[in-house]
Amino acid sequence: TDHAATERLRAEIAEVLARARRRTATLTDCLDEAELLAQHSRLMSPLVWDLAHIGNQEELWLVRDVGGREPVRDDIDHLYDAFRHARADRPALPLLDPGQARGYVATVREKVWDVLGASALRGAALLDGGFAFGMIAQHEQQHDETMLATHQLRTGAAVLAAAPPPTASMPVGGEIIIPAGEFTMGTSTDPWALDNERPAHRVDLPAYAIDAAPITNAQYLAFMADGGYERSELWSQRGWAHRQEAGLVAPQFWERDSDGQWWRRAFGVVHPLRPKQPVLHVCWFEAEAYAKWAGKRLPTEAEWEKAARFDPATGASRRFPWGAAEPDAATANLGQRHLEPAEVGAYPAGASPAGVHQLIGDVWEWTASGFEPYPGFRVFPYREYSEVFFGGDYRVLRGGSFGTDPVACRGTFRNWDHPIRRQIFAGFRLARDLRAGER
Ligand code: AVJ
Ligand code: FE
């Protein structure tokens, strides 16, 4: 019945909002006031800004807009408007202190529980799939992933811990050929899909080859050993200029000892580089140079999505590579269950029908594509989520990382960042056109 469906949706919303808040607490309760207020990197906000910004977005959309309630703190809106102040300038603002920020997000959440429970919602926001609530849960989780990146940039003793990810249970490598043909890209029906994932549209692609797995540390080391960072001919002009200016010699957070062995610092712990794990913390220009060295290229967004979603048996596009089931510990490394990517070959149950592995989770994958609207795009509900970024200096990333919650991850989900950024949890896989006669 309608009533039972509404109650199920209400319970699902309550669970995703509560899960996001538990994670926000995990990321902020482990640090003292000074560390929450500190600028760990000019690329990032102080953690206490993310915390109150999470509450402020929730207040704007769920308390004021959906709930039609009185503002909790409309005097602080300007402090937490991401378009008003650059990240580097946020530490100097008269921000709520950690205690005030915690009190603020808790007060907002109390009001949201009240809004969610209100009978008036039965007809409106909830029947429309609960989009506003889903958007806010995704927003909190996206900032939680950003806060996790701030944790990775912070120096000092480790404060986060998690079980190690699974190791390879089968060898995975080489390429998969995706035959030519149309597929459905994007979605018009996923209730919590964001505006930039809409609408569903048909895309026709020639046949192409795509890597069965992301590029590993071992593969990346071979590029480095072959002079990858020293050979300007492997880099685009812009990429080489950036490589020179930023002094890039290895992925971020790699350290080499006097014996020439590489180690990786992750969340305050230095560990030997694990050869079968996907390479992490490379910028788009590094991925571009690696691709040139390998005689290949990055996949376009459409190629990535067809490899992830197209089911040749039905001709339909799936929500996830493995089907419609929610991600779990057997299919994908998501949700900060682990603090690093898993080895390639660790998730055979998560492969796509074509046999492409680990598209979802582990590392965000850089694509060749800029961030553009799909044909028929409509802003929903606000221009600043997607539209103002279209046509900018961004590249699209797909698939989510170990730090992405399932609520903010699916085969249609689009992320984007500047091509020089590498503090995000990004790696890549490659693709190529087929040679004459190859099929
Ligand atoms: C989609 C991850 C690029 O963090 O800038 C958070 C998500 N939008 N608050 C970002 C977002 C508004 C966004 N990314
Ligand atoms: Fe935000």
List helix spans (H) across 201-300: 217-225, 237-246, 284-294
Question: Which pLDDT value is given to residue 405?
Answer: 98
Residue nearest atom 7 of ligand 1, based on CA coordinates: 142
Residue nearest atom 10 of ligand 1, based on CA coordinates: 142
Ligand 1 geometric centre to CA of 142 (Å): 6
Q: Is 13 helix (H, G, I), strand (E, B) or coil?
A: helix
Using CA atoms, how far apart are residues 321 and 331, in angstroms rounded to an integer? 9
Say how many C-beta atoms besides its own lie within 10 A of residue 241's C-beta.
13
List phi, psi (to 5°) of 144: -60, -40
Ligand 1 nearest atom to the CA of residue 385, by list position: 8
Ligand 1 nearest atom to the CA of residue 57, by list position: 9
Pocket mutation for ligand 1, best pick of 81, 142, 144, 371 (most atoms within 8 Å of C-beta):
142
Ligand 1 geometric centre to CA of 176 (Å): 32
Question: Which pLDDT value is given to residue 224?
Answer: 98
pLDDT band at 3 (very low <50, low <70, confident <90, very high): confident
Q: Could you tell me if 356 and 345 are in contact, meaning their C-beta atoms sit under 8 angstroms apart?
A: no
Please list every protein residue whose CB sits less than 6 Å from any atom of ligand 1.
Answer: 139, 142-143, 146, 385, 415-416
Question: Which pLDDT value is given to residue 439?
Answer: 74
Contacts of 399 (CB under 8 A, 6+ apart): 304, 308, 359, 360, 361, 362, 363, 364, 365, 409, 413
Cα dihedral 203/209/210/212 (nearest 10) = 130
Ligand 1 nearest atom to the CA of residue 415, by list position: 1
pLDDT band at 2 (very low <50, low <70, confident <90, very high): confident
Ligand 1 nearest atom to the CA of residue 416, by list position: 3
Say how many C-beta atoms besides its own lie within 10 A of residue 250's C-beta.
19
Average pLDDT rounded to a whole number, residues 73-78:
96
Residue nearest atom 14 of ligand 1, based on CA coordinates: 415
The answer to which of 2-11, 129-138, 186-195, 393-402 has the lowest mean pLDDT is: 2-11
Q: Which ligand is nearest to the CA of 404?
A: 1
Residue nearest atom 9 of ligand 1, based on CA coordinates: 139
Average pLDDT rounded to a whole number, residues 107-117:
96
Q: What is the tens place of the pLDDT at every residue in 252-308? A: 999 999 999 999 999 999 999 999 999 999 999 999 999 999 999 999 999 999 999
Using CA atoms, how far apart are residues 163 and 339, in angstroms rounded to an integer? 8
Q: What is the tens place of the pLDDT at every residue in 133-186? A: 999 999 999 999 999 999 999 999 999 999 999 999 999 999 999 999 999 999
pLDDT at 123 over 80: no
Q: Is 174 exposed, middle or buried (0-12, 13-18, 19+ CB in 10 A)?
A: exposed
